Structure 1
């Protein structure tokens, strides 16, 4: 089962008043496992960036001036998503913008039922609690320290972790075996393996922690396991 965890950044709150998408980020999941395949695109909104939008996204008009307009990337975005379910936090907001952009291009709009709203899931699971992406990261102990500014790809990567927790943990169905006669399961699905990330994740160990580890291994002598290989 293929799913796309998706986030957009925009110049404002409503495409009807001229606001546009300036960034799309998406992460591919297969059977609830990140494959390493992502989609990331900055977009020239063809309008001035309000100051408050610049403060939130860290993007400037100068930075976006040489980026493609949505008309140049719309079909490629649709091809990437395909008919996969889209995992979105506050799906009504992103879908409103995506479908407005697609409509202006005379391209097929994304069906609303194709979106899974993690905000709605969180509100149902934690009634009365804060359910922003940052609040859910705190609840589940997910590291979001890099999220000093909104960025579509980083937010979609964080949302992927939140989504897996919301639906019951990182292995929600513990599907260790698949019935080959199961309807809808193809040979390609059975043989699927995650792809390596095109860009490795940055290490989270600090220089002090590395130094402490090296000193510990040094005391263990030449036959220490960490010295082998």
Structure 2
């Protein structure tokens, strides 16, 4: 209707949507949640953006508040080529400290197998994955874990790569993007600048917002302002 009345409409697209990942091991962790992690996007080996928060593994990839928040940027990057997301399990700890912590753990539990002690440092659900990615046998005794293997593990703690396949479809999206051009709306009243007595609110507007109730707040606030002036 707004378009028929002369408004410019920014093309509608889905936003805040889970991300499908190519790596098979990700699907095996469906239901596992990680807190206080960092996700960094890369394209052509160049760092793009970083996001901190929670991550949920699903049967097709990753989701959760942090993933939903970064999905629009990932979608834009996919238009220009492949995208990789680096998972950092310890965003507040550098490689040197992690190396020392890992070595201390292996020494303290020297007669045990690495598969049975690594869970004291990282989430236990990730232990088999990290060992496989680092090419370390599950049954390896701690005293036999070589320096090069420890180095690989520390790198994975800070940078486990996830190869993006695609964004999931509109049926999985939390909200959509696009809508009426904001330059054509008087935000003091929410009245159209083109059509008198026409008020534009909520999802009709081209306003991107993160997950966490912001869409509801957008509708409530703009609706209230319009109601005060119509």
TM-score range, shorter chain: under 0.3
Q: Which has a greater percent of strand?
A: 2
Larger RCO (alpha carbons 8 Å, 6+ apart): 2
Give the number of the structure whose alpha-carbon radius of gyration is greater.
Answer: 2
TM-score (norm 1): 0.26
> Given the two structures, how large is their TM-score scaled by the length of structure 2?
0.26
